[in-house]
Structure 1
Amino acid sequence: MDYTFEGKRKTLSLGKYPAVGLKEARARRDTAKTMLATGIDPSAEKKRVEVQAAIEEQEQALTFEAVFREWWEVRTIDLAESSRRLKLAGWKSISSPSAALRSSWAISSSAPRRACRNCPVWRGYGG
């Protein structure tokens, strides 16, 4: 769809045929025209929505458990396998499943430290 916004000619893709049918393409066109009428650039809005979705997807992928497992592999490489299993079992026993699935951005930096301090398996471990 070609349109003009703030004196500049722009083109907005409504989707590829046959993935997007005629009815849906017309609905997208109507939405874009409504945006233009209210002073919103449909192309910029489409990009903003895509970026926001990518950020949310990335935050979902960065759960505390995913970050912990990556850290775990790096920090415990020098430990014997039996020690790694014992310490990991200790960590799992004190961490809640809801905390493991939370976004790593939502957890304060002192929360894991407090949890480790209360776990007898981790006491005295400098890692």
Structure 2
Amino acid sequence: MKIFSIIILFIPNFLYAEILDKFSLACICDKSINALRYFDCKQKVSGTQLDILENEIEIQVYSSFDEKIYKMETTSNEELNLLYETEDYISSMVIDSNLSMDFSINYKAYKKKWSYDLKCVSLKKE
């Protein structure tokens, strides 16, 4: 039973490893979406660089856009979910295996959510 528990604890780490292997990432607004959404994204977000900050407790990601440190939440082999939460809002980044990112900000008091589509590329030298 002990071995089974250990295996279950480590399986999630293997699922998102493919996406994490591609870090650091540079992300810019996705031009393939409609023009209005693209220009809104370009005006508000423009782009960001994402870098992994590893410590012994958890994996965190630093975003140069808002200069925040996001913590890794639920992940699967399909996507990586990163969150930054304050009393007022929750920022999230969901990155899929194709390195497409949905960046969203949810303001709690107003129950309003804004989201932007970005496309990322790996800055890792191969």
Q: When you count strand as a share of all residues, which structure comes out higher? A: 2
TM-score (norm 2): 0.29
Higher relative contact order (Cα pairs below 8 Å, separated by 6+ residues): 2
Which of the two has greater helix per residue? 1
Q: Which has the larger radius of gyration?
A: 1
Q: TM-score, normalised by structure 1?
A: 0.28
